[in-house]
Amino acid sequence: MTSTASHKFKSQFSLCRSLILVVMLLSISSFSDDFRYLTFGPFVHVHFGKEKTCSYGIEASYWSYRGDYILPVGFDIGLEFEKSIFRFYSDFKALVAFLGLSAGPVFEFKKNLAPALGLQGSAWLGLPIPISLLTEPNLNLFILTGDVRFRKINNQNFTSLGGSFKAGVGETSSIFNP
């Protein structure tokens, strides 16, 4: 990686990190109970770069919130497929009410090319749909999301619009504080 490319990568990483920090500092959490949960489901994205393309994939996320956190945080791993391209990524996530930010590395594998490392960040809106409001400690739900994703790989910038449908299951405060 050239020094110019390295500087640009560090600059974009710093911007994503700064955005997450600003959201964390400016937010007032509305979460009253500690919780942790897993979500899993498919997604689709339309990419706007040199050409308009579409990708699909699957993503799993882990979320955690405790009273000493400023807001819920989590991470995800995802697999994405687009024509002759395969991507693997993992993001750090922060949530404020139903709005979230995420950022992290993405590894891209294109047919007949060397693997490439890039950076991506997303802003998204999630709509939780309770399956049932069972008594604690269970929290079972579906989540519909819409997002805008920014990605840079090999000095190419991509902007994507997408959505997902995820199922989630988790535990609330009675598990953390018996």
Query: What pLDDT was estimated at residue 64?
Result: 83
Q: How many Cα atoms within 13 Å fall on the side-chain side of residue 7?
A: 3
Q: Which amino acid is at 9?
A: F
Check which CATH number belongs to the domain holding 110 and give it: 2.40.160.20
What is the span of the domain harbouring residue 49? 3-176
Query: What pLDDT was estimated at residue 98?
Result: 78
Q: What percent of the chain has pLDDT above 90?
A: 40
Query: How far is it, in rounded angstroms, from Cα 10 to Cα 17?
Result: 10
* Segment 121-147 mean pLDDT: 73
| 158: its two tokens | 């991509």
More confident residue, 128 or 172: 128
More confident residue, 29 or 81: 81
Q: How many domains does the chain have?
A: 1
* Segment 122-151 mean pLDDT: 75
Residue-wise pLDDT tens digits, 61-95:
998 877 666 777 889 999 999 999 999 999 999 88
Give 30's pLDDT tier (boundaries 50, 70, 90). Answer: very low
Q: Using alpha carbons only, how large is the chain's radius of gyration in Å?
A: 17
Site of tokens 């590894």? 107
Q: What percent of the chain has pLDDT above 70?
A: 69
Query: How far is it, in rounded angstroms, from Cα 67 to Cα 136?
Result: 17
More confident residue, 124 or 135: 124
